[in-house]
Structure 1
């Protein structure tokens, strides 16, 4: 039994190894930013968009207005190439939902399976012994590391794919700045909410 327990024991990460992993993640993020910036300066393929202000006769309001006919009238404005592009975008989006789920599970496994999650909890407890404070610190660490690990997929889905279909005009720097703002806002609101939820669970369990 002792040998079996030793085999399934999770290896503890030392503080040095934890910092090494975090530094490597930061380097990967920097490389991804540089790579994306270099690609963004290349000429993006121009995509002709359908006329947005043109209202077909069948789509105009009136006593005989029909939703199906109005929808078909708008679809008739699209060229065959634009219809094919639209279908490819939405069908690809369905697959991306699946890959995003699998990617998210992989990120969770990295944080939980390697012991990083335990190290983050210990770091939080070094700052404070109060549960609501170290839970808040833990949630902030999880959010940052999960964002870093998911960054490659975010670059593809949020920047390159949108530009490939002519649905975005931002440069890579502008897009990255928006992503950074979103992360900062998440750090302001998400960790306190998680800390409050855990506090409620602890209080309910203590009854």
Structure 2
């Protein structure tokens, strides 16, 4: 499959989706969103795929929304932006792991919060900068942040708009596993392969139960 803003690869029974705008630190665009949905749908419909990993190319995971791209959208075009409910898609998807290889800002954080597991490199950083530009968190992130971090820490993180390093993110539960930069993606794929060995219908049942 050919995409402009992401890459799609198969690693045995694992689908590897890579955000691929490294020159913009993989900043999110409506086209990227549509391509993510397409790739996830393809992986979910492929009987040879058991789990999914999403990462970023270059030095960052996702630097938030590319406002130049967002503001240039023709909203009369019914196909842009994609209107798929992201949270519903992720929660009904095959098991999916985020492999955060650098900074995750704004939507770079909120898009991965519904994932089943979040893995990050020691150089990763996290920021909910919405408050800095007069916006509020999206994609049910207020729910998932409280679930992961607790009410007080989630409140401080969102209300301050500060940047959080990987060590703190791991300590308070924003991320689940922390690895050095060289090993992080391999470890994520290794975990995904282990999950993919299990029966698919039951994996989705477990996701619903959790």
TM-score normalised to structure 2 length: 0.27
If asked which structure has higher relative contact order (CA below 8 Å, sep 6+), I would say 1
Q: Which has the larger radius of gyration?
A: 1
- Which has the larger share of strand? 2
- Which has the larger share of helix? 1
TM-score normalised to structure 1 length: 0.27
